[in-house]
């Protein structure tokens, strides 16, 4: 029998190793950006086409490489960053494994241009499938440009596993943001398919956070800063009122490396305890610096977990630092803790009765049904009024669109009531209504979510909602990461009455809004809808459209805690029972509960 063990050829060994390091375009982006940072660049430009599937290029003005180093850099285990095992415990650079470029060269077509400051010409190298195709001198400025084309062109199985462009671009932006956030004194830009998505001038950390996460944080962050011999922490946390329903804006960095840590997250959440609703997430960007020997970063290259020598100290330190800064800026709890967490998170509850609250009441479609009588979709023209007749008998005649009149046929209603009768609002949240057999308690927000959801579903199915043109078109500036999302939603939003046009990179012009959303409130309504959409987006079981419907229904719904007039309550009740599925919200929460008179009688011994 012949011997059967062989050494794998380099390109195959590298391809296998690449599987660990380069899983998707975003992992290559991370590696290339980190190399540029390690090279001392003050300007780093990232260019991607087709979400990195066609091209990922990073151009930096760092220290560059000599001709030999340029060639060497693509060998496996080739690094200038450590020389022996001890160095591992004093790592100051982002990279150290010497695997990234070898992996990249094994799964794409690479073009490298690089020049050191003190050399007169630079080097150009072309590599395909780990094989050098071309190497020649090139005239250029100091720095390095690496372009990798057609990622996984030679590993079709992996190429097929890549997600949609929108999803891969989202990952790329996440990695870009993580590096850019950690190095505010470096200029970064990101260009995707010829469009500049980020343009981040160098500046302070605060400026960088605002550049990335959006201007609304500008006056709404407090700084965190504590120093000890053991460790330092600095950064910013969002004031409680900026807490969102999505986890998005939370960043931890240890020695400038982005990490994920449920444990440290818990520490921060503890500091915010009783200041924010339970299901909401405060913004934070916190940087922890400690002696590299106290951290084990020698974990898997693509993993972002970290091990601390003494986690308990780090936990306590982070929590007290955040508590301290929240206290310093005298941000104290102002909420009524008897309220349900859902309710607490509502602006209407968090704020005294202000102009803002008035306008948010005014933004509800119900309000508008009255203020624009006979124009709005007072009652859905849906023919299936079965539930309504069986269960709840309202007035004999109901006004619907175009002022038509519907006759509901013979009535079984309690005949003392000529109308629905007096409705009682309890705790500004529940509506009590008498029925033929007892009474029901309706949850006003849940009920309204159901009503709006069905109305919007019809809109998308071909009965577009009427739009009012903005008299003075408002511009909406989004955080760059939300721009791609907005582009995905534009068409459906159009059917729902939101007419938006892209204008420049991060800006959309609101040309029109549903007739129900009053002018002046357009922007806020779209921002909140997007926020809610992201909240749903982790839920894979729903289609994009379904998530959008639910988000808008939630956003436009009358919130618990809102005072309703008799008329408003009446319409709400009528519209609810005109729904195809009146008994639950789109998410399955009950909209009402029934109490039978016979049961009440029993309770009272009758």
Residues binding Mg ion (CB under 5 A): 35, 95, 100
Interface residues with ligand ADP (CB under 6 A)? 31, 35-36, 39, 60, 62-65, 73, 78-81, 95-101, 144
> What sign does the CA torsion over 549, 551, 554, 557 have?
negative
Selection from Mg ion, ligand ADP, none that 80 binds (CB < 5 to 8 A by kind) is ligand ADP
In angstroms, the Cα distances linking 545 to 172, 213, 324, 496, 531 are 24, 26, 43, 11, 15
Structure tokens at 434: 């008498």
Q: Are 599 and 438 in contact (CB under 8 A)?
A: yes
Q: Which is nearer to ligand ADP, 39 or 379 (CB)?
A: 39
Q: Which is nearer to ligand ADP, 105 or 572 (CB)?
A: 105
How far apart CA 255 and CA 120 sit, in angstroms, is 36
How far apart CA 249 and CA 237 sit, in angstroms, is 10
Selection from Mg ion, ligand ADP, none that 207 binds (CB < 5 to 8 A by kind) is none
Q: Which is nearer to Mg ion, 182 or 526 (CB)?
A: 182
Q: Which is nearer to Mg ion, 35 or 551 (CB)?
A: 35
Q: Which is nearer to Mg ion, 14 or 35 (CB)?
A: 35
How far apart CA 452 and CA 579 sit, in angstroms, is 10
Selection from Mg ion, ligand ADP, none that 97 binds (CB < 5 to 8 A by kind) is ligand ADP
In the bound complex, what is the minimum distance in angstroms from residue 586's beta carbon to ligand ADP? 48
Q: Which is nearer to ligand ADP, 39 or 549 (CB)?
A: 39
Q: Which is nearer to ligand ADP, 63 or 158 (CB)?
A: 63
Selection from ligand ADP, Mg ion, none that 378 binds (CB < 5 to 8 A by kind) is none
Selection from ligand ADP, Mg ion, none that 261 binds (CB < 5 to 8 A by kind) is none
In the bound complex, what is the minimum distance in angstroms from residue 39's beta carbon to ligand ADP? 3
Q: Are 146 and 112 in contact (CB under 8 A)?
A: yes
How far apart CA 158 and CA 74 sit, in angstroms, is 21
In the bound complex, what is the minimum distance in angstroms from residue 581's beta carbon to ligand ADP? 56
Selection from ligand ADP, Mg ion, none that 25 binds (CB < 5 to 8 A by kind) is none
How far apart CA 211 and CA 189 sit, in angstroms, is 12
Burial of 388 (0-12, 13-18, 19+ CB in 10 A): buried
In the bound complex, what is the minimum distance in angstroms from residue 35's beta carbon to ligand ADP? 3
In the bound complex, what is the minimum distance in angstroms from residue 41's beta carbon to ligand ADP? 7
How far apart CA 507 and CA 502 sit, in angstroms, is 6
Count of Cβ atoms closer than 10 Å to residue 156 Cβ: 9
Q: Which is nearer to ligand ADP, 146 or 431 (CB)?
A: 146
> The tokens 């009358």 sit on which residue?
558
Structure tokens at 148: 């990798």
Of all residues in this chain, which one has the CB nearest to ligand ADP in the complex?
A: 95
How far apart CA 522 and CA 379 sit, in angstroms, is 24
In the bound complex, what is the minimum distance in angstroms from residue 38's beta carbon to Mg ion? 7
Closest among 265, 271, 219 to 242, alpha carbons compared: 219
Using only C-alpha atoms, the chain has a radius of gyration, in whole angstroms, of 30
Helix (H, G, I), strand (E, B) or coil at 342: helix
Q: Which is nearer to ligand ADP, 32 or 398 (CB)?
A: 32
Selection from Mg ion, ligand ADP, none that 264 binds (CB < 5 to 8 A by kind) is none
In the bound complex, what is the minimum distance in angstroms from residue 343's beta carbon to ligand ADP? 50
How far apart CA 180 and CA 186 sit, in angstroms, is 8
Selection from ligand ADP, Mg ion, none that 106 binds (CB < 5 to 8 A by kind) is none
Selection from Mg ion, ligand ADP, none that 62 binds (CB < 5 to 8 A by kind) is ligand ADP
Q: Which is nearer to Mg ion, 35 or 435 (CB)?
A: 35
In the bound complex, what is the minimum distance in angstroms from residue 289's beta carbon to ligand ADP? 21
Helix (H, G, I), strand (E, B) or coil at 194: coil
In the bound complex, what is the minimum distance in angstroms from residue 159's beta carbon to ligand ADP? 22
Q: Are 276 and 311 in contact (CB under 8 A)?
A: no
In the bound complex, what is the minimum distance in angstroms from residue 129's beta carbon to ligand ADP? 17
Q: Are 177 and 33 in contact (CB under 8 A)?
A: no
Selection from ligand ADP, Mg ion, none that 144 binds (CB < 5 to 8 A by kind) is ligand ADP
> What sign does the CA torsion over 354, 356, 357, 363 have?
positive
């Amino acid at each position: 029998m012949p011997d059967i063990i062989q050494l794998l050829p380099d390109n195959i060994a590298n391809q296998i190793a690449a599987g660990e390091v380069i899983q998707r375009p975003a992992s290559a982006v991370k590696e290339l950006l980190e190399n540029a940072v390690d090279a001392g660049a003050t300007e780093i430009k990232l260019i991607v086409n087709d979400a990195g599937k066609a091209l990922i290029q990073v151009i930096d003005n760092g220290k560059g490489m000599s001709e030999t180093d340029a060639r060497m850099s693509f060998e496996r285990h080739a690094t200038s960053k450590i020389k022996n095992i001890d160095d591992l415990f004093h790592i100051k650079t982002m990279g150290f494994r010497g695997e990234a470029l070898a992996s990249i060269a094994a799964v794409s077509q690479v073009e490298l241009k690089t020049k050191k400051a003190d050399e007169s010409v630079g080097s150009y190298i072309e590599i395909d499938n780990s094989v050098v195709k071309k190497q020649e001198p090139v005239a250029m400025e100091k720095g390095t440009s690496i372009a990798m084309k057609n990622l996984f062109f030679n590993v079709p199985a992996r190429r097929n596993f890549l997600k949609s462009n929108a999803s891969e671009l989202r990952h790329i932006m996440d990695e870009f943001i993580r590096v850019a956030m950690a190095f505010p004194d470096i200029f970064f830009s990101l260009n995707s398919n010829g469009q500049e998505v980020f343009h981040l001038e160098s500046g302070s950390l605060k400026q960088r956070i605002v550049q990335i996460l959006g201007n609304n944080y500008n006056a709404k962050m407090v700084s965190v800063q504590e120093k000890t011999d053991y460790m330092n922490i600095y950064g910013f946390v969002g004031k409680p009122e900026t807490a969102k329903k999505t986890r998005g804006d939370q960043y931890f960095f240890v020695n400038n490396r982005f990490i994920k840590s449920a444990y440290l997250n818990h520490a921060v959440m503890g500091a915010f305890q009783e200041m924010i609703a339970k299901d909401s997430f405060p913004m934070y960007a916190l940087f922890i610096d400690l002696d590299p020997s106290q951290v084990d970063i020698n974990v898997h290259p693509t993993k972002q977990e970290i091990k601390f020598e003494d986690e308990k100290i780090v936990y306590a330190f982070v929590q007290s630092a955040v508590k301290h800064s929240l206290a310093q800026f005298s941000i104290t709890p102002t909420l009524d803790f008897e309220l349900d967490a859902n309710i607490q998170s509502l602006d209407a509850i968090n704020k005294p009765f202000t102009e803002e609250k008035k306008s948010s009441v005014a933004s509800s479609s119900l309000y508008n049904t009255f203020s624009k009588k006979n124009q709005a979709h007072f009652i859905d023209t849906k023919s299936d009024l079965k539930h309504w007749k069986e269960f709840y008998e309202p007035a004999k005649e109901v006004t619907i669109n175009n002022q038509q009149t519907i006759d509901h046929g013979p009535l079984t209603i309690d005949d003392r009531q000529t109308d629905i009768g007096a409705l009682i609002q309890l705790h500004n949240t529940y509506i009590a209504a008498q029925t033929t057999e007892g009474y029901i308690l309706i949850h006003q927000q849940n009920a309204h979510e159901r009503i709006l959801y069905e109305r919007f579903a019809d809109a998308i199915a071909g009965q577009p909602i009427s739009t009012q043109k903005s008299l003075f078109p408002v511009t909406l500036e989004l955080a760059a990461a939300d721009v791609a999302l907005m582009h995905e939603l534009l068409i459906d939003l159009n059917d729902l009455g939101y007419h938006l046009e892209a204008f420049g990179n991060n800006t959309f012009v609101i040309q029109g809004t549903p007739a129900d959303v009053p002018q002046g409130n357009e922007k806020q309504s779209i921002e909140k809808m997007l926020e809610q959409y992201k909240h749903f987006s982790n839920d894979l079981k729903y289609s994009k459209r379904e998530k959008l419907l639910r988000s808008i229904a939630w956003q436009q719904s009358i919130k618990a805690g809102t005072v309703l007039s008799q008329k408003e309550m009446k319409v709400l009740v009528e519209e609810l029972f005109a729904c195809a599925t009146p008994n639950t919200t789109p998410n399955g929460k009950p909209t009402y509960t029934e109490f039978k008179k016979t049961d009440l009688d029993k309770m009272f011994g009758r």
